[in-house]
Amino acid sequence: MSDTAHSFASAGTLARRLRVHGKVQGVYFRQSTVEQARRLGVAGWVRNRRDGSVEALLVGPEATVMALIGWMHTGPAAARVDRVDVCEEVPPVPVLEGFVQRDTL
Catalytic residues: 30, 48
Q: Give the phi and the psi of residue 64 in degrees, each rounded to 5.
A: -75, -35
Which residues on neighbouring strands pair with residue 44, listed in sequence order? Answer: 58, 99
Neighbours of 83 (CB within 10 A): 10
Which residues on neighbouring strands pair with residue 56, listed in sequence order? Answer: 18, 46
Instruction: Report the Cα–Cα distance between both ends of the chain, in Å, rounded.
Output: 19
Which residues on neighbouring strands pair with residue 20, listed in sequence order? Answer: 54, 84
Contact 64, 12 (CB under 8 A): no
